[in-house]
Structure 1
Amino acid sequence: MSALEYPKGIAFLGNFVPRLCGISTFTRDLYESIHAEAPGADCYVAAVTDTPEGYDYPEAVRLQFQEKDLRSYRRIADVLNFKNADVLCVQHEFGIYGGPAGSYLIMLLKEVRMPIVTTLHTILENPTKEQSSVMKSLTSLSDRLVVMSRKGREILHSVYGVEESKIDVIPHGIPDVDFKPVDFYKDRLGISDRKVLLTFGLIGPGKGIEHVIEALPAVIKRHPEVVYVILGATHPKLIERDGERYRLGLIALADRNEVQKHVIFHNRYVSAEELQEFIGAADIYVTPYLDKSQITSGTLAYAFGSGKVVVSTPYWHAEELLADGQGALVPFHDSAAMAASICGLLDDPLHMQSMQEKAYAVGRGMIWPSVGRQYLDTFAHACADRRAAPRTAVAGWTLENRPRLLPSRQFKHVARMSDGTGIFQHAIFSVPNFHEGYCVDDNARAFILCVLMAEKEAASSEPNVDRLTSVYLAFLAASLDYDTGRFRNFMSFQREWLEHAGSEDSHGRSLWATGVGAARAANQHRQRLSARLFEAGLPVVESFTSPRAWAFAMIGVDEFLQYDSGNQEAVAMERDLTDRLKVLWRAHATESWPWFERSLTYENARICQAMILSAQRNDDAEALDIGLKSLAWLASVQTTREGCFRPIGSNGFYSEEGVRADFDQQPVEAQAMIAACQVAYRATQDTRWLTEAKRAFEWFLGRNDLGLPLYDFSSGGCGDGLHSDRVNENQGAESTLAFHLSLTDMNDAELEMTPAAT
């Protein structure tokens, strides 16, 4: 029993039965063992689901989320935080979570507040860049890590730099079964006169079963009583892709080798009771896997711990478990060696009996009650460590000083600036200026804000949010001229459109907003209307020439593709606009002026943001390099000697051959920089980008050239700019929305921070 107190609330996250896979079974068995060893604890499961219709889960599964729906990960994080479990036990395997290399899981883990214990079922010695990024984030976010072999701990330390003190080696659990002679089970299965070789588990090409079949002619020549049982269904993912191609190939191979009478295929997922009988009847368990880097095999652990003689290829888990003569290892892809090893064992039944007894004795330390107690010790350790060293947030910030740095949401000025038509463009001080009317630019920004608030925050505390979401979307819908495919921009107070078509930039912002609505709006009707507006307004972008309009549209496309990833028109448009920005970069960028144009003007960081987003979606290394390089340079020219943010001034901007304008400084520049740096951080996990985002946000609060705050804490509005001698006291829509959208991004940043960023 641990000297530490066991947690009272334990949430498990991973696959779960009846989904067919090894992780599902493991999560089920671990849950049941913990529940049995700590009967007073409140244990429940959050299951990741790979089908839209889900599964008929048992009562243990209280929560489920869709593998490929990022929003559902965020919702589950919110629910887990609300349920306030003491610890979250995560099962990690690259193939079971959505996003590149399963990166959606990282977004969930960055938002939960309880200690995290992660069991790593796969640990790659030579990961891809995306896998490495995910693994480093995962190991950083987890309070403790569980591996099932010493080799796993070694790789975590040498490849990923994880301190060994953070890693617990706990064996793969196995059922506690009696040690009985094989004849007991053979009689039950009607094969008492046969010598049984067994391979079980989900079937797929990596299992190497073909090499055992090719070894059978030599084995049968010496031991004609041998039968090889291949137990298990084909992996569901393989069925989706290739059907039963692999299994049919094995059947054909058995025919060619004339051993078909000695091979039995049981093509089904058997119950635990049936599996125990098949394992009990086996004389030799065979794991002919092809990949040395397999760090864990549940089937190997189960068979070995049940007292079976094992013949295996030398993948990492087998090398470790079968060391010192506890099993037989044969080279990969070597059927002759496989045959020789099997025959040698069958020739020496006394030696086999000794190996069986030794394996069973070792297996007593692997039974689920023992494994469950070890996990409980790890949970207790994780909770104690978290209490002793609470996690901090953005560099230099703590949860304690967050209220000072990140103001609470004051939505009342946004509501004050809005009526039943939309949000007014301008204000005189904090009073709406009716004379200037409305524009689609600001209603697009306001719609994005409301959608994000409903998605990320307790929007119910702001009763105006739901109503205004519909108002702003209705404005966007009214602004679209379906005949031309163009969004109009300016509307008078009398609700009269003042132009036939708005600017390219306002059109791009409208696509951005409708893309966000399609991807994130909680209301299905708003999603569908947003998608309709987006699709109607997208084609005309092909004729645009403004790089910023391209960037706004690209950000919108990136959002929309979360709603409809198969929309080929959107995919093609994103790639086309990315290529156009590449052309500008190649034409204008130099070592001293790494930019897309000969001047820096307005919302410059949006171009960088669009390139990084496109690069991630399309695995475009060149676009990523351009986006990060240009953003790094932009950050450097927008930082003063004193270390505060100084955006390019609108009173002259900054040309390559000229002098930069320091004023007037606009809130939308800080907002654009914050958003672009957040995207850069998510793409690279480089915490320098969080430092840059923090710097830009502090500009609103007074860390600027004049030392004056633009954000009005009493009204919830934001000044329209920073002049050379004062703050512009008018609190228009663009500036106020820039602040509130920035606050949303910074709240996300606080949730995303890891211990490594402190």
Structure 2
Amino acid sequence: MSDIEFAHLVRLSDDTGLHEHADGPLPRREHGYCLDDVARGLVVLHREPDLPADLAALAEHYLAFTAYAQAEDGRFHNRLSPDRRWLDEPGLGDWWGRALWGLGTTAARSTTPAIQRAALECFDRGAHHRPPSVRTMAFAALGAAEVLDADPLHASAAALLGDITSYIGRPRTDENWPWPEDRLFYANAALPEALIAAGDLLGSDEVRDDGLRLLDWLLTVESRDFHLSPVPTGGWFLGEPRPAFDQQPIEAAAMADACARAYQVTSDPAWLAGVHRAIAWFSGDNDLGSLMQDEQTGGCYDGLTPAGPNTNQGAESTLALLSTRQHLRTLLRSTG
């Protein structure tokens, strides 16, 4: 049985998938579902070492949703109406990248062979595409890393993961701004994490070290007084005011993921500081000293605004909290 509270994720879910939005703790059923969140759910659930029966059933619902969303050519729909009609055409947006991340994680970590095979078939169907967005590619690369870690001879996963370097490029020579983009946007830590994974699994010290350098810089600029201070939804560049709002839980979760991978690859305990800052952000060690989780429901607030938390508890934020708490559990077990 998991020691992490999944009650709110269950509350947001049904036999179709995962409701995207909430009004406080209650799912906004009229807003329907999106693959983006369902795929995140696959990642989180399959990171659990021993899924109880109810969560295993939930993971199978999420996998069925993801397979249903996939077109024959490997692209994916994203938005499903409450009456189960697709509201968009299949595409290669962030949801495609997150779908491959979720499918790769399921294929690598599920303990049910039939589920592994089904997830891998969907992954392989989509892995030949190359999206226009660097973040979309980074999410997909993290799924490829899961597959490749489980099967080092998996050709399409190796090709997908290897191509992340051409998307991100090398760090800039400017020590104040080595970031390969002109501005920080969202889920920023996924980019260096993808490089670290590619360098580690494909045997390139240069690519791994580029990722570590970018992550170290990112953790520095996204910290204030030794607590995490994520960039706002509008992005950030040097000289713009900080702290800035609204801050999103996905930023803390991405930082926890990336620093945990850096620690796994390097065994350098310095990376644990980033994981701890991300965990502490949810517990109130943030720019406003505000608790970002509802301890009664198990949900996470949707963002940190200048006036405090946005107390709606949607799927993206709740999954960000759950994934970060998974790193806390791993750290507690590994250090003590």
Establish whether TM, by shorter chain, passes 0.5.
yes
Per the alignment, residue 445 of structure 1 pairs with 40
1:172-195 superposed Cα distances (whole Å, 9 cap, x missing partner) = xxxxxxxxxxxxxxxxxxxxxxxx
Aligned-residue offset at 1:659: 4.5
Per the alignment, residue 5 of structure 2 pairs with 410
Whether the 8 Å contact between 2:77 and 2:88 is mirrored in structure 1 is: yes
Structure 1 residues 605, 745: closer, same or farther in 2, change over 3 A?
A: same
Residues 1:600 and 2:187 aligned together: no
For residues 89-100 of structure 1, the aligned pairs below 5 Å read none
Per the alignment, residue 81 of structure 2 pairs with 492
Whether the 8 Å contact between 1:435 and 1:493 is mirrored in structure 2 is: yes
Per the alignment, residue 126 of structure 2 pairs with 537
**Structure 2 residue identity aligned to 1:511:** L
2:60 pairs, out of 457, 461, 470, with 470
Per the alignment, residue 113 of structure 2 pairs with 524
2:144 pairs, out of 557, 582, 590, with 557
Aligned-residue offset at 1:657: 6.5
1:509 pairs, out of 98, 108, 114, with 98
SS in 2 for 1:486: coil
**Structure 2 residue identity aligned to 1:446:** G
1:225-282 superposed Cα distances (whole Å, 9 cap, x missing partner) = xxxxxxxxxxxxxxxxxxxxxxxxxxxxxxxxxxxxxxxxxxxxxxxxxxxxxxxxxx
2:268 pairs, out of 675, 679, 686, with 686
Whether the 8 Å contact between 1:490 and 1:497 is mirrored in structure 2 is: yes
Whether the 8 Å contact between 2:23 and 2:313 is mirrored in structure 1 is: yes
Whether the 8 Å contact between 2:168 and 2:180 is mirrored in structure 1 is: yes
Per the alignment, residue 217 of structure 2 pairs with 633
Per the alignment, residue 230 of structure 1 pairs with none
Matches of 1:569 and 1:699 in 2, distance apart?
37
1:706-732 superposed Cα distances (whole Å, 9 cap, x missing partner) = 111111111010000110111111000
1:660-709 superposed Cα distances (whole Å, 9 cap, x missing partner) = 56111100100000010011111222111101110111110111111111
Matches of 2:241 and 2:102 in 1, distance apart?
34
Whether the 8 Å contact between 1:668 and 1:735 is mirrored in structure 2 is: yes
Matches of 2:295 and 2:241 in 1, distance apart?
35
SS in 1 for 2:108: helix
Matches of 2:205 and 2:242 in 1, distance apart?
31
Whether the 8 Å contact between 1:606 and 1:676 is mirrored in structure 2 is: yes
Q: Specify the structure having the higher radius of gyration (Cα).
A: 1
Whether the 8 Å contact between 1:518 and 1:531 is mirrored in structure 2 is: yes
Residues 1:743 and 2:330 aligned together: no
Matches of 1:581 and 1:475 in 2, distance apart?
30
1:671 pairs, out of 220, 239, 253, with 253
Aligned-residue offset at 1:594: 1.1
**Structure 2 residue identity aligned to 1:697:** I
Matches of 1:450 and 1:591 in 2, distance apart?
38
Residues 1:647 and 2:242 aligned together: no
SS in 2 for 1:481: coil
Larger deviation: 706-715 or 600-609?
706-715
RMSD: 1.7
Per the alignment, residue 175 of structure 2 pairs with 591
Matches of 1:441 and 1:414 in 2, distance apart?
15
Whether the 8 Å contact between 1:653 and 1:661 is mirrored in structure 2 is: no
SS in 1 for 2:290: coil
**Structure 2 residue identity aligned to 1:690:** L
Whether the 8 Å contact between 2:249 and 2:320 is mirrored in structure 1 is: yes
1:56-103 superposed Cα distances (whole Å, 9 cap, x missing partner) = xxxxxxxxxxxxxxxxxxxxxxxxxxxxxxxxxxxxxxxxxxxxxxxx
Matches of 1:714 and 1:410 in 2, distance apart?
10
Does 1 or 2 have the higher relative contact order (CA < 8 Å, sep 6+)? 2
Per the alignment, residue 311 of structure 2 pairs with 729
Structure 1 residues 502, 534: closer, same or farther in 2, change over 3 A?
A: same
Structure with bigger strand share is 1
Whether the 8 Å contact between 2:4 and 2:326 is mirrored in structure 1 is: no
Aligned-residue offset at 1:564: 3.1
Unaligned stretches of 5+ in structure 2?
A: none
1:280-339 superposed Cα distances (whole Å, 9 cap, x missing partner) = xxxxxxxxxxxxxxxxxxxxxxxxxxxxxxxxxxxxxxxxxxxxxxxxxxxxxxxxxxxx
1:356-381 superposed Cα distances (whole Å, 9 cap, x missing partner) = xxxxxxxxxxxxxxxxxxxxxxxxxx
Matches of 2:149 and 2:219 in 1, distance apart?
29
Matches of 2:314 and 2:250 in 1, distance apart?
12
Per the alignment, residue 69 of structure 2 pairs with 479
Per the alignment, residue 713 of structure 1 pairs with 295
Aligned-residue offset at 1:589: 5.0
Matches of 1:493 and 1:661 in 2, distance apart?
38
**Structure 2 residue identity aligned to 1:553:** A
SS in 2 for 1:608: helix
Whether the 8 Å contact between 2:275 and 2:327 is mirrored in structure 1 is: no
SS in 2 for 1:599: coil
Residues 1:579 and 2:169 aligned together: no
Aligned-residue offset at 1:550: 1.4
Matches of 1:446 and 1:564 in 2, distance apart?
23
Matches of 2:213 and 2:271 in 1, distance apart?
12
Matches of 2:3 and 2:161 in 1, distance apart?
36
Matches of 1:553 and 1:702 in 2, distance apart?
31
Residues 1:419 and 2:14 aligned together: yes
Q: Sequence identity of aligned pairs in percent?
A: 37
Structure 1 residues 503, 662: closer, same or farther in 2, change over 3 A?
A: farther
Unaligned stretches of 5+ in structure 1?
A: 1-406
Matches of 1:679 and 1:616 in 2, distance apart?
10
Matches of 2:236 and 2:278 in 1, distance apart?
19
Per the alignment, residue 24 of structure 2 pairs with 429
Structure 1 residues 656, 704: closer, same or farther in 2, change over 3 A?
A: closer
Whether the 8 Å contact between 1:548 and 1:606 is mirrored in structure 2 is: yes
Structure 1 residues 521, 707: closer, same or farther in 2, change over 3 A?
A: same
Aligned-residue offset at 1:744: 1.0
Matches of 1:658 and 1:747 in 2, distance apart?
35
Whether the 8 Å contact between 1:649 and 1:660 is mirrored in structure 2 is: no
SS in 2 for 1:712: coil
Per the alignment, residue 157 of structure 2 pairs with 570
Structure 1 residues 569, 411: closer, same or farther in 2, change over 3 A?
A: closer
SS in 1 for 2:291: coil
SS in 1 for 2:244: coil
Aligned-residue offset at 1:563: 3.6
Structure 1 residues 607, 687: closer, same or farther in 2, change over 3 A?
A: same
| TM-score using structure 1 length | 0.43
Matches of 2:239 and 2:289 in 1, distance apart?
30
SS in 1 for 2:129: helix
Per the alignment, residue 3 of structure 1 pairs with none
**Structure 1 residue identity aligned to 2:191:** I
Per the alignment, residue 285 of structure 2 pairs with 703
Aligned-residue offset at 1:436: 1.2
Whether the 8 Å contact between 1:451 and 1:522 is mirrored in structure 2 is: no
Per the alignment, residue 191 of structure 1 pairs with none
Whether the 8 Å contact between 1:589 and 1:595 is mirrored in structure 2 is: no
Structure 1 residues 430, 503: closer, same or farther in 2, change over 3 A?
A: farther
Matches of 1:692 and 1:562 in 2, distance apart?
24
